A and B are shown apart, each in its own frame.
Chain A
Amino acid sequence: MRLLDLRKTSAFRITLLFSVLLIGSVGLLFALVYWQSSEFLMGNLDQSLLHEAHELIDTPDEGQALDLEELVASDPHQDWQGGLFDAQHHLIGGTVTAWPDGVVLDGKVHELKGGLPGATPHQTKDMRVVGMTLPNGRILVMARRADEVHEVREVVQRSLVIGLIASVGLALLGGLIMSFSSLRRIEAMHLATAAIVTGDLSRRLPIDGSGDDFDKLAHSVNAMLAEIERLVGDMKAAGDNIAHDLRTPLTRLRSGLEGALRRGGELTAHRAAMSEAIAETDQILATFRALLRISEVESGQRRAGFAVVDLVRLVSTAAELFEPTASERGLTFKSDIQTAPAVLGDPDLLFEAVANLLDNAIKFTPAGGTILVSLSADGRIAVEDDGPGLPPERHDLLFQRFTRGDKARHRPGNGLGLSLVAAVARLHGVAVSVRNGKPGCRIEIALH
């Protein structure tokens, strides 16, 4: 983990964004405080300046100069300056020593740089000034120091800078810490993922138990990994079974051909070996076809082609297709088909499923047995036989790929028929159930 990586983390980027927003809002707040407080203070100051000026208007002519000097002298802070002039700008009284040029005599408060003539050393800064012509023709000029307003402004400005620096620093620090912790967790996840990619499917993403977003994400990814691990396990088991069930006929094929070659002999013997080899090859190909079919069904693509299926027609056609074969094998074949409502589904696949059930029943029921195919009024299709049946613990196994009853390994078939039935049922979102009869077995697809 490098510091350079930090600036790429989303936590750090979010921090940066929030820092900018924070700076903006703090700045705005301070600007508002600055503007409002200085307005307020300046207003007060101007108010008192005007107030004192108007006091003098009401004072008799002879007392005006004295009052003015008293006002200035009574203030220990030396805030005030004041001068009384006659119409010809000659000084009558006050602390101003000469006529100040540039003072506007409009009775309003103005800005003044550096004080009036005769200012004390304290009064060299910015001041507020008002000039007016009194009713008796005299001219009054009064000024007041605005230092305190400026001081408050400076305090506010300083606070702004300090506050900004502090908050930005805190935000950055927090962001850095957050980025570091998120980066550390991502790094841990990255390590786990890398291990998974290289084939260790048992690895899981770390969870720190805080229940935060990372934990939630890790939980769902872990659930997904568990599912993938299970599927890969299934696939491997299926692959092993495929290898086994294909190797057996392939071995038979090879040794048969080899034997024929070694034995030599008549053309008829060779022909027989070749026919056998072709039959063996057909069996292998049928297994392949069945596998591909199951994966086609399991991919769920066929759902796009769902149509209304007439179950009565479907089951009776299947019964009619298989009846001669069953009879030829010495089995009693019965069908009990009730009127059932149509369902939405893939007619060809449903037919194939029923056909597989019938094919199995015919294959595994010994001569003299009975097979019953039925459709109930509520859409349950069942195939029942009185053959050897299935031990209960094999019922679930029955619907995994390539599983057959032990004895079945020596009979024709690839063991995929029932797996296809299960896949077709899953595609239609319905259940397949197996029940042992006495004797025999009954497999049912409940299409409602």
Chain B
Amino acid sequence: MTERRQPSRTGFDPALAGKRAECDGGGLVPGTHFAGRQEFTGTLTGEYVDHGEPPWRWYLMTDLSDKPEGFPDDAVWCESESVFLVDEPAR
């Protein structure tokens, strides 16, 4: 497999810290070639990671009040464009 390592940079956005948000998440279901959707509601910590160049930003969400049944963790990383603040203006 060709290695194409990309740098990752961490950061913190104080404007988002403590904000409640929903995440329209999901990804490739391991072992299949299908995408699977998972939804979360929780609190953004403000922490983020930018993967690669151009940066692909991911936010950390904790205190999950809504998550898939049986989801074992209390935190999840959410891709920035999949995060919707709970008090965002109506569409």
Please say whether chains A and B are actual partners in one complex.
no
Question: Which residues of B pack against A, CB within 8 Å?
Answer: none
Question: Which residues of A pack against B, CB within 8 Å?
Answer: none
